Amino acid sequence: MDGIKKNVESLVLDPQLADLFAIVKGARNGFTYGAKIRFPHALVMVFLFRSGTLREKLKLVLKATFQHARNLATFATIYKTALLFLRKISPEGKESSPHTFLAGLVGGYMVFGRGIQSSVNQQIVIYVFARVVLALARLSVQKAGGIPREFRERVTNNAWPVFAALSWASVMWLYRWQPETLQPSLKSSMKYIYVDSNHWDSLRTLLLQNK
């Protein structure tokens, strides 16, 4: 038994296989992270806003958790595999800036861009997109020449407040006037907070219970 364990350890630590095991570890970490992030979120959202039996609700929680975990694991596998392939065929034999973009493009399309636009996939992509917008706003100011230092610092410091304010202004307007354009889970949350709060018929339904 000790001999088998030693052989496996030597195989795992073989530098020639490091790239392949990095893909395996990326898939493992993607799955674990996705499960940790999605499970508590799905648990709260399903038990707050979904009807059905306990069994049905738990099934929805596990389904959302597995989908999130599987998608992050699949993306990590495709991304790291594509990156390895691009590096191997590169004349320099090393990673370059376009390789990262292309690998992300392939993974993003194959995992999140094709097929049915599930709520889980939409939430992941929107989460990433929001942070990309903020990062690009800061990057555009940092890289632009001829801009006074005070102005750069002002933009950097106010990027988040402006982004937050415009995001909430936009979502409230959309929910009020074009609700059909929003994601179902977001509409459900908005209805609970901003529409259901306009209706009650007793002290109990005012403070203790929604309906």
- Do 164 and 96 fall within a single domain? no
- Do 3 and 106 fall within a single domain? yes
pLDDT beyond 90 at 32: yes
User: What pLDDT does residue 69 have?
Assistant: 96
Task: Choose one of 55, 79, 114: the last residue of a domain.
Answer: 114
- Do 105 and 121 fall within a single domain? no
User: What pLDDT does residue 8 have?
Assistant: 83
User: What pLDDT does residue 147 have?
Assistant: 76
Question: Which H or E run includes 80?
Answer: helix 54-89
Domain count, the chain: 2
- Do 138 and 202 fall within a single domain? yes
Q: Which domain holds residue 188?
A: 116-211
Split at pLDDT 50, 70, 90, the class of 65 is very high
pLDDT above 90: percentage of residues in the chain: 52
DSSP annotation of 120 = H
User: What pLDDT does residue 105 have?
Assistant: 96
Q: Are 61 and 69 in contact (CB under 8 A)?
A: no
Split at pLDDT 50, 70, 90, the class of 210 is confident
* Distance of alpha carbon 77 from alpha carbon 142, whole angstroms: 33
Q: Identify the residue with better confidence: 155 or 69.
A: 69
Q: What is the overall mean pLDDT for the chain?
A: 89
First to last CA, the chain: 62
- Tokens standing for residue 209: 């219970």
With a CB cutoff of 8 Å and minimum separation 6, the contacts of 23 are 76, 77, 80, 81, 84
pTM: 0.78
Split at pLDDT 50, 70, 90, the class of 41 is very high
User: What pLDDT does residue 143 have?
Assistant: 77
User: What pLDDT does residue 12 have?
Assistant: 85
Task: Choose one of 114, 132, 166: the last residue of a domain.
Answer: 114
Q: Are 175 and 182 in contact (CB under 8 A)?
A: yes
**Tens digit of each residue's pLDDT (9 = 90 or more) over 150-186:** 887 887 788 888 888 999 999 999 999 999 999 887 8
Task: Choose one of 95, 114, 133: the last residue of a domain.
Answer: 114
**Tens digit of each residue's pLDDT (9 = 90 or more) over 98-143:** 999 999 999 999 999 987 778 889 889 999 998 998 888 888 877 7
User: What pLDDT does residue 59 have?
Assistant: 96
User: What pLDDT does residue 141 have?
Assistant: 79
pLDDT beyond 80 at 63: yes
Average the pLDDT over 195-204 and give the result. Answer: 89
Q: Which amino acid is at 175?
A: Y
Residue with tokens 């529409």: 195
Residue with tokens 């403070």: 207
- Do 207 and 151 fall within a single domain? yes
